[in-house]
Structures are given as C-alpha cells and as structure tokens.
Amino acid sequence: MSATHTALYGQPDQDLAPSAADAVQLSPLIVGSTDVASIPDESFTTVTVRAPAGAVERRFVLAQSLRVLAGGGRLTAFAPKDRGGLRLKKELEALGCEVGESARRHNRICLVVRPQAIPGLDQAIAAGAPRQIAENGLWTQPGVFSWDRLDAGTNALLQVLPEFSGVGADFGSGIGLLALNVLASKKVTKLTLVELDRRALDASRRNVDDPRAEFVWSDVRHGAGLKDLDFVVSNPPFHEGGGEDKTLGQAFIRASADALRKGGSLWIVANRHLPYEAILAESFAKVRLVAESGGYKVFEARK
C-alpha cells in the first residue's frame, strides 16, 4: 500500500479533529472497518484517533497508529479530559513524539509528527494484543468488555440458564462465555453469536470451536437478519461513549422480540436499577423475574 491514504480510528469529530471523508476506518467498533494490526508499516500519511478510555487499549491504538504512519506523517489524537485525554501527551511523549497540545470542549487534542524512532512501540502493541486468560485458556483482548475477568452480570445469567434446544442467538456475545454454556446442550442445533466489537468476535471464534456456532459482526440495534428463533440469550451493554444509556438494553429487547418465533424465549440479565420491565412487558406475552441478587436481575420473557 502506498503512503497516500488517510486513516481514522473511531467516530469522526470534525470540530475537534477534521478527517477526510474517504479515510480508512480502523475502529473495531464500526462494522466493516479494517483491523489496524493488519495494516503494513508506514501506510498512511495522516491518522486521526478518537482515543479509547482504557489505558492499555489506548497505548496500543496510539502505538499502532504511529506504526502505520509514513515517515513525516501526522497523527492527531483526542479524548475527553476525564477519559484519557489528560494522559495523551505523556503517552505520546513516551513513544518518542514531540507533542503539540490544545484543549476544546473538555477534550485534549494532541498533534504529532511520526518520529524516526519509536521507543516502546513493540511493548505497547504486545500489551494490547490478543491473549489467552491463564485461568481458563480463553482468548480475549484489552478493550473488549470485561476482557480480564468474568463479568458479574454474565455470571448471574450463567447461574440460572436452562438447557436450551433448537435454534438460538446470543445478542452481544462478547468472547463467547454464554455461548459455550448454551452449546453444552446437545439439543441446540444452531447458535448465532452477534457482536459489535470485532475483537470480541475474533476471540469468540477461537473460544467457541463448535460447528453449530455462527459468528455475525453486527450491531444488534440495526438487526442481524435473524427470524423464527427458539431462544435468545443476552447480557446487553448499557454504556456508550462513556455514559449510561438505558436505550441500548431496550433496543436489544426489541430486537430479540423481532427475532423470536411465537412461544420463543429471551433470557436477559440487567443491572437492578435499569428500567427494562416496561419494554419487556410491551414486547412479550409473558415476563418472569427468574433471579435477583448481587445488583443484577435475570428475566425470562416469552413471545
């Protein structure tokens, strides 16, 4: 690839950091984007990064962005002050950059030219790369939801899941923990794992070695093309862009109802404070609170 392209990591913000309309998208959270790790060295003349909040993930993204920049290429990175923005300048300096920094709309914006040598590049990339969890051998990656531990909500759902049968889906499937449990039932004939984060989906492909599993990179809110399912399991997200968003889980509930056959069931876990009861009652014929403990509630909803 000749170094004539521009790249963008994350949703653009033309006010904070203008980016080209034809920039190659690198964020794993945007369906159809390109994996930055697959890009050859020095491929772009300009890279713009909406930096992630997680420290290990952010340093990985910054290092990868510098790696794919051509000599003399320009990197612009920005983030809210309370979500990593205050650390951007030091992190880029640690990678050998001379940093110009400005502030706008509670964000810090850093502009650098790719240095000739990038100290710590390999270490930052290795720290944020896919890895196996020592305790259970499952694949994961920093930046993926609950990447280094079993999420308490997922665990609450695992404790009460029945033995399923027929064709089902896992909406927001993560690295495949729920799917592994569901597929333990020989009565399940097919399970579609639907996940927005490409890194999590890549990990689940390595974790769920089962011919009955199908993997779909998609935003559940926009539909995954599934119909007449016997069951859906879900631990939906409730944060986006750093803030709580109850509409995410509500959208997952509606999508589940649309995908299920009459008589099909949704098993879903939610934080106790999230108001999902009303949308469950609107979308399903029967709703049952299965369990409530540790700040979580598990529902079975049947069409």
Q: Give residue-wise pLDDT tens across range 233-276.
A: 999 987 555 566 778 889 999 999 999 999 999 999 998 888 88
Q: Give residue-wise pLDDT tens across range 112-124.
A: 999 999 999 999 9
Tokens 């300048």 correspond to 89
CA distance 31 to 90: 31
Range 88-126 burial, b when 16+ CB lie within 10 A, else e: bbebbebbbbebeeeeeeebbbbbbebbeebeebeebbe
> Average per-residue pLDDT in the chain?
94
Put simply, whether the predicted model's pTM sits higher than 0.85 gets the answer yes
Question: Where is pLDDT greater, at 246 or 166?
Answer: 166
Kindly calculate the radius of gyration of the chain based on its CA atoms and give it in whole angstroms.
21
